Amino acid sequence: MNITIRKLCATAAAFAGLGWVQAQAAELTIWHAYRGGEKTAFEKVVKMFEAKQVGKGVTVNTLAIPYDAYADKISAAVPRGKGPDVFIYAQDRLGGWVESGKTVEPVDFFLDKQTKDQLLPGMMEAMTYKGSVYGLPINYKSITLIYNKALVKAPPKNSAELVKIAKENTKADSGRYGLAYWYTNFYFHAALMNAFGGHVFDKDGKLAINSKESVAAINQMMKWYKTDGIMPPEPSEALVASLFNEGKAAMVLNGPWFIGEISPKVDFGLAVLPVIDEAGKKPMRPWLTIEGAYVSAASKQKELAYEFAKFLVSEEAGLVLALEGRQLHTNKGIYNDKRVSGDRVLKAFHDQLATAEAMPNRAEMTMVWSPATTAMNKITKGNATPEAAIKEAADNIQSSIDALRKSR
């Protein structure tokens, strides 16, 4: 008995000692949701960062967390002082994390001009909430025009050309359509809404979805769907993919995640989204989702954590993430590299960036999706006029927002 206790004590002491030695060296924990090639590239960048910190004994541990559990895990762990030093997530949750507090550390104190200047324009906007910067943007995604080269000779520059090409390729009774995208999904529809100058929130954060611009954008979509008849009914992610892969959709609007799903039999091209003549020749402006690296408010080593985030947006990390991880990195410099500018996919999405805008990072945005989808479904099925459906959606969203923004 005595010996066992002594053994236990010895082991405990050894572990404690080990812990103490480890505590001497700085250790960073990073959470992300990458898989496959993105994960490999990310881990390579982590190794590069460690190599740069030689002598300081910095070790960086990465932990890949399944995407569907990721955001809730951060919301639960970090405010209670647990969790990583740095975590990577898109901007859509940022507003909620800032509002609920004790989750994301503001970094504008650390942020210098140099770091900002090396980034593509418009990226910091997604990381900024109510005037403070909370993270460094790593990569962006937006939709763009992807077309079947066998069916479309030259991609359309404006909506008139788009409709013309699409009509040539539409034969509804055999299930062929000139244009396919998930137009009932508000995320995809936003490109049209933004073209007409509509917004979900105005700059003060007031709900602005019920506007004549929104209605005009819906009417444009309904024109394509009903009047021109160039789009399939009941679109979904899977439907758009199968139509395009079977050569039954000449053009689709989709994002970088779609590239891997395209069948090798389809020779595809990419082009910037067209200008909408009806919107006063304004281009379609898709939403950008931007992934940022955030320093955790619970981190014990915020400066080192920030250094790591800063390294992620550097040119050398950007090249690895772009070329090996296939990410659309935010560092300007990498697009001068032959290997990046020579890659038609990376180049096409980079070109689209000029007319893209960051999706709102307000917490209230999650209240928009469901009512907006309901409205889009009602409109496309002819159950409501655009005006009535948008007004109803706006009322529902507003009451959810009011429930949240209550006076104390």
Partner 1 sequence: MSLKRWFSGIYILGLTVAVTVTLALSAWLFHGAERDQWLQYERRLAQVEANALADALSAAGPDEIGRILKAWQSSRPERQSAVVIAGMEMIGSAKSEDQAPRRLIRAEKPLYDLANQLRAARETNLSEGVVRKKLIVFDEQAKDAFVVTVPYLDKGEFAGVLQIRMRHVETDVSGTVSYAGAALWISIFLAAIVLAALLHARPEMPRDAPKIVALAAFLGLTLFYQSQRLETFAAADLESTRRVASAVADAAKQHDVKAVSPAIVSRWDTDQYQRPLGVIRTDGAVVGDARDKLFAERAKLLERSLWAVEALGLVLLLAYLLGYMRRLADTVRHHAAAYAYVAPAMVGMLVLVFFPFLYGITLAFTDTTLFNESLPFSERWVGLVNFFAILGDFNLFTRNADGVIWNYQNFYWTLMVTIVWTLTNVTVGVTLGFILALILNTDNLKGKAIYRVILILPWAIPNYITALVWRGMFHPQFGVINQILQLFGMQPVGWFDGVVSSFFTGLATNGWLSFPFMMVVILGALQSIPKDMYEAAEVEGATRWQRLRHITLPLLRPTLVPAIVLSVVWTFNMFNIIFLVSGGEPAGANEILITKAYKIAFENYQYAYAAAYSTVIFVILLVYGVFQTRVTKATESY
Shortest reach from residue 371's CB to partner 1, in Å: 9
Residue span 346-385 as binding mask against partner 1, x where in contact by CB under 8 A, dash where not: -----------------x--xx-xx---x--xx--x-x--
Phi then psi for residue 285, to 5 deg, are -120, 95
Considering beta carbons, is residue 128 or 331 the nearer one to partner 1?
128
Residue span 151-190 as binding mask against partner 1, x where in contact by CB under 8 A, dash where not: ------------------------x---------------
Interface pick for partner 1 out of 43, 50, 106, 269 (rule CB under 8 A)? 106
Q: According to the binding rule CB under 8 A, does residue 108 interact with partner 1?
A: yes
3-state secondary structure labels for all residues of the chain: CHHHHHHHHHHHHHHHHHHHHHHHCCEEEEEECCCHHHHHHHHHHHHHHHHHCCCCCCEEEEEECCHHHHHHHHHHHHHHCCCCCEEEEEHHHHHHHHHHCCCECCCCCCCCHHHHHCECCCHHHHHEECCEECEEEEEEECCEEEEECCCCCCCCCEHHHHHHHHHHCCEHHHCEEEEECCCCCHHHHHHHHHHCCCCCECCCCCECCCCHHHHHHHHHHHHHHHHCCCCCCCCCHHHHHHHHHCCCEEEEEECHHHHCCCCCCCCEEEECCCEEHHHCCEECCCEEEEEEEEEECCCCCHHHHHHHHHHHCCHHHHHHHHHCCCCCECEHHHHHCHHHHCCHHHHHHHHHHHHCEECCCCHHHHHHHHHHHHHHHHHHCCCCCHHHHHHHHHHHHHHHHHHHCCCC
Interface pick for partner 1 out of 53, 210, 219, 396 (rule CB under 8 A)? 396
Q: According to the binding rule CB under 8 A, does residue 395 interact with partner 1?
A: no
Residue span 47-66 as binding mask against partner 1, x where in contact by CB under 8 A, dash where not: --------------------
Interface pick for partner 1 out of 64, 77, 79, 176 (rule CB under 8 A)? 79
Q: According to the binding rule CB under 8 A, does residue 205 interact with partner 1?
A: yes
Strand-pair category, 282-283 with 132-133: unpaired
Q: According to the binding rule CB under 8 A, does residue 81 interact with partner 1?
A: no
| Segment lying near partner 1 (by CB under 8 A), choices 287-295, 318-326, 348-356, 400-408 | 400-408
| Segment lying near partner 1 (by CB under 8 A), choices 44-52, 99-107, 220-228, 288-296 | 99-107
| Segment lying near partner 1 (by CB under 8 A), choices 123-131, 135-143, 208-216, 316-324 | 123-131
Considering beta carbons, is residue 84 or 96 the nearer one to partner 1?
96
Q: According to the binding rule CB under 8 A, does residue 80 interact with partner 1?
A: no
- C-alpha distances in angstroms, 249 versus 177, 235, 253, 286, 386? 5, 12, 11, 20, 26
Interface pick for partner 1 out of 101, 260, 264, 342 (rule CB under 8 A)? 101
- The two most distant CA atoms of the chain are separated, in Å, by 89
Interface pick for partner 1 out of 22, 100, 227, 263 (rule CB under 8 A)? 100
Shortest reach from residue 175's CB to partner 1, in Å: 8
Q: According to the binding rule CB under 8 A, does residue 263 interact with partner 1?
A: no
Residue span 287-326 as binding mask against partner 1, x where in contact by CB under 8 A, dash where not: ----------------x-----------------------
Binding footprint of partner 1 on the chain (CB under 8 A): 79, 96, 99-102, 105-106, 108-110, 129-132, 175, 204-206, 232-234, 236, 238-239, 242, 303, 363, 366-367, 369-370, 374, 377-378, 381, 383, 396, 400, 403-408
